[in-house]
Structure 1
């Protein structure tokens, strides 16, 4: 069976070092062939991204130029309608029928999983890797917790023996960086250096994406 592929979704508004380092850590820990960064066009459960789809895709592309384990997957940006993860996984499964797919998500995201569109259908197309962080102890809804316990495997190697349907819990080293904080810094005219790749920061500053307009006199 081919090596598993990781799927890391989000708005990536903007992509930053927390996203990139997490993707590399999980690629190594889970022995993934690659991790696909999948920017959402119209996230159903949060506000629309500030940066355009084209800008966010470009920033990911330039950020991962020298990292062969990471890949931009822009299918949600090209698809009309809400960016439902189950549709994305179904599309990937049609393209990769024999490859294990691993949907990577934090506990804070999984805590709202029961509100996702056809959330139980995720397990028909992929494994879920629950990424734990020391600063997050959010309780999972009962229905989600039941699915996690029923499908949970302790060894990441088990993810390579099936194409979908399992849950594995992984705790990578912590690296706390948020897109919200980066946007706030840039809007205030403060430095966001070392929080995201220099090449991405330069693109953002050149375009003035998050710059706060001065109040009228």
Structure 2
């Protein structure tokens, strides 16, 4: 086959920031991907709902990747009703791209709990997994995740190009310590997160007032 794979990077992207974007670019460049799709989750099954609306999060990704052809927004989970299950997302991509290898990108800390995901074993029917290793994150794998890693691990990136799905490839990108929670905390405290996320995204967040501290209500005669 030897066809350039398509990367799939999911998350709430609440908001999208330079850490997400740089990681996606690292994957595209280092692993020879055709492009990487950023897939915002509408209703994450295992965590609280995002603060920003689906429309806002999709808009920010669209703006952030508008000048980079190797990064794309994929909003299918936002358009689908019900919980956002990754197995369904990958199956629909596989239907659309029957001859293209797909690579689901996730951190080792996420992979550690993969057996708790909905129909997790079916993920490998549609995609490979690219496992992001970070030296500052140590985690113990669920026994089934450890067993799966041992049986599916490959150390040659060509497997991601030559086969459609089924392998796990580990990659350690250069460190870039940026998080969406840190950005939300700064905005909530009235501080600036500039240079942690694209300027156009920050400008829109400021205009819309998302994540900003609540303004105190003016005193009235009744509560003075």
Range of TM-score over shorter length: over 0.9
Aligned to 2:67: 66
Give the Å deviation of 1:142: 0.8
Aligned to 1:179: 180
1:41 matched to 2:47? no
Secondary structure of the structure 2 residue equivalent to 1:177: coil
Give the Å deviation of 1:214: 3.3
Structure of larger gyration radius: 2
After TM superposition, list the pairs within 5 Å mapping 1:66-215 onto structure 2: 66-215=67-216
State how far apart, in whole Å, the 2-side matches of 1:130 and 1:192 are.
Answer: 28
State how far apart, in whole Å, the 2-side matches of 1:126 and 1:99 are.
Answer: 10
Deviates more, 1:15-24 or 1:112-121: 112-121
State how far apart, in whole Å, the 2-side matches of 1:77 and 1:140 are.
Answer: 30
Report how many aligned residue pairs link the two structures: 217
Gaps of 5+ in 1: none
Secondary structure of the structure 2 residue equivalent to 1:104: strand
1:69-114: CA deviation from partner (whole Å, max 9, x where unpaired): 0000000000000000000000000001111000000011111211
Give the Å deviation of 1:215: 4.5
CA RMSD of aligned residues (A): 0.9
Q: Provide TM-score, normalisation by structure 1.
A: 0.98
State how far apart, in whole Å, the 2-side matches of 1:64 and 1:114 are.
Answer: 32
Give the Å deviation of 1:134: 1.4
Secondary structure of the structure 2 residue equivalent to 1:94: helix
Moved over 6 A (4+): none
